[in-house]
Amino acid sequence: MFYGWWIVLAAMGITTFGSGVWAYGFPVFFSALLTEFGWSRAMASGAFALSRLEGGIEAPLVGWLADKYGPRKLAIAGAIIASVGFIAMSQVNSFTIGSLYVSALVVFYVLYLTVLAVGYNTGFTHATMVAVNAWFERKRSRAFAIFSTGGALSGPVVAVVAWVVATYGWRSASVLVGISLLIIVLPLAFVLRHKPEQYGYLPDGEATESRDTGIANGADGPLGTRLRMAGSDEVHKGAPAGQIIGEGFSVKESMRTAAFWLLIAGSSARSIAMTAVILHLPRYLEDTGMPLQQAGAVLGMMVTLSIVGRIGMGWAGDYVEKRYLLVLACLLQAAGIFILQRVSGMTEVWVFALVYSLGYGGAIPVHMALVGDYFGRRYYATIRGFLQLFVVPATMIGPIYAGWVFDVTGSYQIAFTSFIFALVIGSVFFFFARRPAVAQRPSYGPH
């Protein structure tokens, strides 16, 4: 089997566990922390919002490190940092140093922002995505579809986390998660590799002859060929005029395209709703009378059901224009929130979980692949880092806004209605985010 698929499977495994204990599992810890310390929802949500700011600020740097040094080193470092963070979180409490009183909320903020968020952003997002993108071109969307199912398969992990928190307490669960990160994620991180050309492969596992552009074997490195990748006409130094390699746009070139900014606008509108719904869903369901363990199971089921959207839309992305799929994903999420507003029993809860998860899950691999299609391979993680940086304000606004609305009105209804409008607007931005024109460069000279 082409080694790129082993990378996809390893990255999927890393995402499965990472998403289960962080992206989708941490709202379970969030609910337990609110219960123990009595924090307001807006105050506690601030930590999640600031973590998005921290993640956005560090994203271009971490993306550059992933592009330069490869994904394996970053995945290993991220797993270790996140493990230390979870184990340390089990000790969150207020304390005094002389006359100085430090509240548990401050301790939680510092730990969450300086250790947990850094570890996850470094090892579980940039590292895995840059590896998958580098090893595929024509099968990029389906590769990301398989990779992104890791998030969907994390549903059982979320359910287990909810059970451990409910049975043994959030502190014991935090220690268990930290130890499990070292046991499960580290071995998978060693499977990751950077670019296929470094190991004698071509993207997609194709034979050299099928991608040969005219250079004799041995004339241009071990592969004897360079190849055109989607969205690229980069010229290799010293190659005959017109010779192509698959590097893509530089960061500056990508920022000069309308597609870059339209993707930011669409992603921002979507992120306002997405981050808030995931964070506040367990608490919202608890407010309807559902026990925490069952509310966590609903969140886990929603994540598991998203596998249908991830595989379906991800696979379709190799055959259908991806921006149309992003439009569909946004509209499905809007419809799901509309249903969530009217929950009166488990029937509506499961209908919401199905509809919302189709759009939520489908957008993930499609967006990953679309960025690779539009801007190429060489600076993929760096460009995604800058995209994430500009989306930060939206990811910060959503959770705090939802918490503030609840604290003021005693209900999430106004916030949910706002999120529906945001998703509809985001679908319009994605619709107009057309593939940018190929960058024009001279035929010779350095990259």
Q: Supply the pLDDT for residue 54.
A: 66
Amino acid letter, 344: S
Through-space distance between the first and last CA atoms of the chain, rounded to whole angstroms = 33
pLDDT tens, 133-162? 888 888 888 898 899 888 778 878 888 888
Inform me whether the pLDDT recorded for 203 exceeds 70.
yes
Q: Supply the pLDDT for residue 244.
A: 32
User: What average pLDDT does range 247-268 have in this prediction?
Assistant: 90
- The band of 313, judged by pLDDT with boundaries at 50, 70 and 90, is very high
Q: Supply the pLDDT for residue 51.
A: 67
Helix (H, G, I), strand (E, B) or coil at 100: strand
- The band of 52, judged by pLDDT with boundaries at 50, 70 and 90, is low
- The band of 104, judged by pLDDT with boundaries at 50, 70 and 90, is confident
Q: Supply the pLDDT for residue 438.
A: 65
Mean of per-residue pLDDT scores for the chain? 81
Q: Supply the pLDDT for residue 55.
A: 67
SS percent in the chain: helix, strand, coil, step 5: 75, 0, 25
pLDDT tens, 16-41? 998 888 877 777 887 788 888 888 77
Distance (Å, whole) CA 218 – CA 323: 40
CA 257 → CA 230, 267, 377, 423, 433, distances in Å?
16, 16, 17, 23, 10
Longest CA pairwise span in the chain (Å): 75
User: What average pLDDT does range 261-279 have in this prediction?
Assistant: 90
User: At the topology level of CATH, where does 3-195+251-431 sit?
Assistant: Growth Hormone; Chain: A; (1.20.1250)
CA 78 → CA 70, 82, 92, 147, 258, distances in Å?
13, 6, 21, 18, 33
Our CA dihedral for 235, 239, 242, 247, rounded to 10 degrees, sits at -30
Inform me whether the pLDDT recorded for 221 exceeds 50.
no
Distance (Å, whole) CA 399 – CA 415: 10
Inform me whether the pLDDT recorded for 224 exceeds 60.
no
Q: Which tokens in the block code for residue 327?
A: 């439009």
Selection from 147, 134, 206 nearest residue 378 by Cα? 134
Percent of the chain with pLDDT over 70: 85
User: What average pLDDT does range 47-55 have in this prediction?
Assistant: 68
Inform me whether the pLDDT recorded for 241 exceeds 70.
no
What H or E segment, with its residue span, contains residue 49?
A: helix 41-69
Inform me whether the pLDDT recorded for 238 exceeds 60.
no
Inform me whether the pLDDT recorded for 394 exceeds 50.
yes
Residue with tokens 């090892």: 123
